Structure 1
Amino acid sequence: MHMTKIGFLSFGHWRDVPGSRVRSARESLVQAIDLALAAEEVGVDGAYFRVHHFAPQQAAPFPLLSAIAARTSRIEIGTGVIDMRYENPLYMAEEAAATDLISGGRLQLGVSRGSPETALAGYRSFGYVPESDDENGADLARDHTSVFRRAIAGEPMANANPQMTGAVGSLAITPQSDTLSERIWWGAGTRATAEWTAEQGMNLMSSTLLTEDTGVPFDQLQAEQIDRFRTTWREMGWEREPRVSVSRSIIPIIDDESRHYFGVRAQVEGQDQVGHLDGGLARFGRSYIGEPEQLVAELAADQAVREADTVLVTVPNQLGVDFNARLLAAVRDVFTEVDATPAAV
């Protein structure tokens, strides 16, 4: 029987406003660690974090992931996603390998070009200027990713200094983590990008929006994206089996508090939305809000959820650790029932 891995995906928001239980950067970071511990205790499989710059959200993932790795023993830790336009690939390779070694090989690293951002071409302020006429930095992100992946695979990245080493040669980044290269995911927003991801030998991470629209429901379009990824993967002849994750907003109504915050939203967020993003049409997936029995039926009918091996559940982190720990325990129970439900023919 197919068993879906369940992870949470936190945007790491903080804001000092009425109703927020996360009012500072410190509270956001400390609560992220506590939520990962609670998630591991209730049987959730992964703790993933969004990365944003110039915004009141988590921006530096490796200190946070390392802290979680040191406090947990089983749960996967990851990102969804790191915007590679902002990254020094070699420094990131050192940080990623160190974090993976601390975790014992539990790092699942999602990378991509990133989403629309608060800053205007903020990566330029970090010192990274595209060489080509690349308005959104997509080529820059792919170039940085290529260097990063070569570095974590152990390729030489610098010439040795014979005065220090006694030899002429080249040097790889240290430390190295042997299997980290197999646990890099690309956040793909289109079917074509999913095919490119498979060509590169990376796992596929697909979120709650696709930056294209063909008029079919979101789950069907995303299922086609996954199918194209896996078809291309087979054509490339890669030896290992790839992993595929999809993100979903899932809120089981299990008590008065969840009903208070989300009961009304269930009436208005149960449908896909189509809008404009980055100059083109984009389709946004629906939210799943309702009683657990209702969610089992709806998620069992979601074609992309059926095709993925991992579902990342976006959590309302500003409602605090206790609320989200209860939410995740309920989601885990829902997916136990989803996995036991026969697929529709």
Structure 2
Amino acid sequence: MRTWSTHVIDPSDEAALRQHWEVGQEAERSRPYEMYWSWDACLAGARHPRTESTSTFISAHDDQGGMVGAGQVLLPMADNLSASYGEVFVLPSHRRRGVGRTVLDALEAYARHHDRRTMAIEAYVPTSGPPTALDFARATGYESALEEEVKTLELRAHQADWDALAAHAAAGHRDYHIETFLDRVPDEALPGYSRLRTAFSADVPVGDLEMQAQTWTPERVREREERHARICRSVVTTVARDATGALVGLSEIGVDTATPWRAEQSGTLVLPEHRGHRLGLALKIANQRALLEAHPTCTTVFTDNAGDNAAMNAINEQVGFRTVERLVVVQKHL
């Protein structure tokens, strides 16, 4: 098998970082939608790293120095300190030559060096056709740990249904109040919002992934908001309050302002003791309305849900989401 050289990219080397991004973008073109992050977001993210995790970019090169493969390894620094998360990209013209395995070996070596016990990678699988990414993962020692469906919502195709859905939802929660924040949680809502984020982390299905719930403090929330402002990410948050004013549910959508046509649903949660009042549906509809008001050029929302998350899958079906591919999160014990 041919050998390839790998390098850790200095995040201040904009030319190398751009090449890395281009390899990833080219590798992702076969997916049904353009979902790869924008160059603006990549560059801003490298210049303004997270405090709760570290990201390292690794490249693979041929004997002429051309970049033919790219990878990224993320190490959580606030929780899940034994875990690591990887991404592997190979130019279509260089697949099945050992490039992907070379990149993956470099990611795993980096994770082991930092005392990480597991690595998880997302493998996207078409609804029809060969599961190439999943086959590669299994051939390199990874096992399926969590299966989800990637879904899209074409906003304007379903906007006419929102009034009826909102009215149906409102009949079930007359003692609750729905409100929306754009980009920054108000100070008075910050403690309640932090508790909801922590609860969401504990509630989201993780399958067989070795993953612990995250603890969200008000300080962590503010740090995330400040970073979002630096990397041009806008977040639309809708919350539900009970009769006492306490926050009991939330739904969030994020938008990379460099690609304003698309948005990502980052989570919807209603606390267990407040379920059964159609709050999940109400939060979704209100948040989508607020999304279009704040970002009128947005056309498509992406989300992914585990197959056993029956309640959220039912809500997403009501709203109009449709499945476009599968997501299999694979895991390896290092």
TM-score by length of structure 2 reads 0.30
More helix by share: 1
More strand by share: 2
